[in-house]
Structures are given as structure tokens and as C-alpha cells.
């Protein structure tokens, strides 16, 4: 009879140890799952912030490109106007007309009269 009681005590002790071991493993697994969740959340937050920052940078660069394109378009328009003016200046009749209007040059026997502006806003 004594052998059975020692065997029962050994089984109870081993069951107790098994329960403690299982409890320890369960705590370890819970802790690992919790850490994995926090690491996943941190990773997603970092990714979200990075993507948001890159989107802001993209919008800024896109706006700068639009501004540069507008500047280029204005420069091209100005270039066309200046080329047209250069070709016009090579024309002697246009050049004479420009000098007469701008510098009030007259031909022999011609009189120039300065008239007030007809624009109603000019008097203000």
C-alpha cells in the first residue's frame, strides 16, 4: 500500500509541475502575442506617417512644377513678343512710326497737337 501512496504523491507532484509549466508557457505566449501586437501597431503608425509625409512632399513638388511651367509659358510668350518686336524694328515704316509716336518727331512742315486723354479714369 505504501508504494501506491508514494506513486500517487509522485503523480500529484508531476501534475502540479505540469500545471505550473503550462501556466508559465501560457504567460510567455500571451506576452509574446502582446509584444507582437504592439510592434505591429508601431510599424503601421510609422508606415502611415511616412506615407503622409511623402504625400505632402509630392504635393509641394507638384505645385512647384506647376509654378515653373507657368513661368516657362510666360517666358515663351515674352520671347515671342520680343522676336516679333525685333522683326518689326527691321521694318523701316514701323520704325519711323514708333519714333514719331514715342519721341514726337515730325516730318518737315508737319504740326503735332497734344490732346487730353479721352479716358475718364485719367482725370482722377
pTM of the model: 0.52
Whole-angstrom distance, CA of residue 99 vs CA of residue 95: 6
Cell of residue 6, nine digits: 508514494
Whole-angstrom distance, CA of residue 122 vs CA of residue 32: 83
Domain ranges of the chain: 2-105
Per-residue pLDDT of the chain (124 residues), as tens digits, is 455 777 777 777 788 888 888 999 999 999 999 999 999 999 999 999 999 999 999 999 999 999 999 999 999 999 999 999 999 888 888 888 888 888 878 888 877 777 787 766 655 5
Amino acid at each position: 500500500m505504501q508504494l501506491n501512496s508514494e506513486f500517487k504523491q509522485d503523480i500529484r507532484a508531476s501534475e502540479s509541475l505540469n500545471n505550473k509549466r503550462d501556466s508559465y508557457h501560457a504567460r510567455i505566449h500571451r506576452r509574446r502575442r502582446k509584444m507582437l501586437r504592439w510592434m505591429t501597431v508601431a510599424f503601421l503608425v510609422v508606415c502611415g506617417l511616412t506615407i503622409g509625409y511623402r504625400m505632402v512632399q509630392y504635393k509641394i513638388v507638384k505645385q512647384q512644377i506647376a509654378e515653373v511651367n507657368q513661368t516657362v509659358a510666360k517666358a515663351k510668350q515674352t520671347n515671342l513678343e520680343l522676336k516679333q518686336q525685333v522683326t518689326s524694328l527691321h521694318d523701316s515704316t514701323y520704325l519711323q512710326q514708333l519714333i514719331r509716336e514715342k519721341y514726337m518727331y515730325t516730318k518737315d512742315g508737319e504740326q503735332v497737337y497734344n490732346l487730353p486723354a479721352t479716358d475718364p479714369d485719367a482725370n482722377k
